[in-house]
Amino acid sequence: MLELGRELLQWIDEHMDAATREQLRTNNVTRLAETLDPTNTMMRILRYPPYDPELAAPGATRASAHEDINLITLLPSGSARGLELRDHRTGEWREVPLVPEALIINIGDMLEQMSNGEYRATSHRVVVPADEDVSSDRMSIPTFLHPFSSTYLSPKYATADAFLTERLIELGVLTPEQVAEKKRQAVAAEI
């Protein structure tokens, strides 16, 4: 997955808007693929449990609408239908066809930042399709490719870490107090 991720990032790099690439170069990003950090990158094994048919109806949400907070996500087809993407031109939700052994590539927020909006982050969600039984489960195994924490993203975000921290506070995963405490500890460790 890492090798494939590197190749895709290299491809994106080669086809990126020239001015954006230049901006990345002047901020020490010589190649997009070189920003890929294997220790920050994670593969997740997800199981969406069956719903109780008394409590949920077809159409029920399994993962609400979001964008991934990373460069790109490599998402092999799940074990069942249900993944949907939002068409950013019309706002419409579209089902991703379930093709066995296919690989879906989602663009994440960090690539949107690094490409100056040329690559838009993919809004996606997981539902129980309207014509399917809620009492079956669903598995999927995404790999989230992340850059090194110190990677420059954009004029607004000097580092990937600054961007991630802001998103995690927004999501309520971290409090501003926890972030301040982490910074204090990092400074103390340097002394």
Ligand X SMILES: O=C(O)CCC(=O)C(=O)O
Residues forming contacts to Fe ion in the complex (CB under 5 A) are 68
- Closest residue (Cβ) to ligand X? 140
Spell out, one character per residue from 108 to 137, where the chain touches ligand X: x when CB under 6 A holds, - when not.
----------------x-x-----------
Least distance in Å: CB of 125 to Fe ion? 8
13-72 residues near ligand X, rule: CB under 6 A: 46, 63, 68
**Residue whose CB is less far from ligand X, 13 or 68:** 68
Of the residues 113, 140, 151, 154, which one makes contact with ligand X according to CB under 6 A = 140
Least distance in Å: CB of 77 to ligand X? 8
- What's CA 113's distance to the chain center, in Å? 12
Of the residues 83, 111, 114, 127, which one makes contact with ligand X according to CB under 6 A = 83
Segment interacting with ligand X (CB under 6 A) among 11-19, 75-83, 111-119, 146-154:
75-83
Burial label, 20 (beta-carbon count in 10 A; 0-12, 13-18, 19+): middle
Residues 6+ away with beta carbon under 8 Å from 5: 36, 41, 71, 72, 74, 143, 145
Residues 6+ away with beta carbon under 8 Å from 82: 48, 62, 126, 127, 128, 129, 132, 138
Using only C-alpha atoms, the chain has a radius of gyration, in whole angstroms, of 19
